[in-house]
Amino acid sequence: MPPRRSSSRPRRAGSHFTSRPRRAGSHFSGRVSKNVGRSHFSSPVVAPIRTPVRRSALIRSPRIYVFNGRKYTYSTGTNNRIRTINILIIIALIMTAIFVSSHFANDNDLKTIERDRAHYLSMIEIAESTPSLIQTATVTGYNTNGAGGKYFIYYTVYNDFNHAIYEGESYSVYTLDEVQSLLHKEIEVAFESQLITRNTDSIPVDYKDKALEDDGEYIKASENKRTSMWLSIVAGVTCGALIIVNIIIKVEDREYVEDTSSGPSNASVSAQNKPKINKCEYCGTILGENETSCPNCGAHKS
């Protein structure tokens, strides 16, 4: 005799995942720079040196949202955007973990159903070789638990005095037409022992003619496994994309700081190294280095 169940407790309601005897057919988000020019009547102007400013410190217009008569302000600075993305990354990580866990849970459910099927097929095989383990039962009703669109049946075994001595349920492996055709008819049921009590395990003999893919709970667990797998992939890709965006924003902000720190000083150095041009203060004629007076208007070089 094979092990009674994959679980140590008796099944109930046709469930692979309950601790009671099986029942009801269940397996279980800048500054503007000024253009400064030179004039004949103004003193030489030195290009302004811009103080390095972090991109996140620039004044940005905040976004204002109105909800239920109240105004909510959202800052659009870099720091706030990074903070928002970090929150989204955490949410995506949590969702990925949930979907991955659901995927493995459904995979375990499928394995449980497969073990139970092997157990009951063995029970039927043993019962067919021992006629006393097979009893005739009457189908008294049917129902569905919504798993895979399948139905299960209720059956009752009567004694010679027409007293009910055993009531059982099948798994959800029948179509609606099948259960309607079986209603109030007799079927053969295989028992695990000759001593029949309320907790004795049983299964309709025609369960051996049903494929694993006919089991409603197997269909449901398979669909849930595929769904959780795709959702975990989407959540994982979203999380990766958010991490990349976060890195790009930080790199751009760092490059901006380096540009504003090195740019003005380089411009100042190049201005200092540029040859000095002497012009006449009166007519603007360019003077040579050794000229002491303007060749155009005769004004002396100051």
What number is the average pLDDT over the span 182-188? 94
- Residue 130 domain-assigned? yes
Q: Is residue 191 part of a domain?
A: yes
Residue 147 CB-density burial (10 A; 0-12 exposed, 13-18 middle, 19+ buried):
buried
In a domain, 193, yes or no: yes
Judge contact between 13 and 24, C-beta under 8 A.
yes
Task: Please state the φ and ψ torsions of residue 64, each to the nearest 5 degrees.
Answer: -115, 125
Q: Which residue has the higher pLDDT, 56 or 142?
A: 142
Q: Which of 300, 259, 261 is nearest to 280 (CA)?
A: 300
- Please give the share of the chain, as a percent, with pLDDT higher than 70: 67
Give the per-residue pLDDT at 259: 56
Q: What is the mean pLDDT of residues 19-47?
A: 45
Q: What is the mean pLDDT of residues 169-190?
A: 94
Q: What is the pLDDT of residue 10?
A: 45
What whole-number distance in Å separates Cα of residue 88 and Cα of residue 152?
45
The residue-averaged pLDDT of 89-101 equals 93
Q: Pick the residue with more confidence: 256 or 99?
A: 99
What the block records as the tokens of 186 is 């007799």
Of 157-171, 239-253, 288-302, the poorest mean pLDDT is in 288-302
Q: Indicate if the pLDDT at residue 29 is higher than 50.
A: no
4 domain-assigned:
no
Tell me if 135 is assigned to some domain: yes
pLDDT tens for residues 195-227?
A: 989 889 999 999 999 999 999 999 999 999 999
pLDDT at 5 over 90: no
What is the number of structural domains in the chain? 1
124 within 8 A of 143, measured Cβ to Cβ: no
Q: Is 65 helix (H, G, I), strand (E, B) or coil?
A: strand
Domain contains 235: yes
In 149-287 the beta strands, taken as DSSP E runs, fall at 152-158, 164-169, 186-191, 202-204, 278-279, 286-287
Segment among 103-107, 132-136, 185-189, 289-293 with least mean pLDDT: 289-293
100-147 pLDDT tens trace:
999 999 999 999 999 999 999 999 999 999 989 999 999 999 999 888
pLDDT at 157 over 80: yes
Q: Is residue 290 part of a domain?
A: no
CB 76 within 8 A of CB 62: yes
* Residue 295 falls inside a structural domain: no
Q: Which domain holds residue 210?
A: 11-26+59-275
Length of the chain: 302
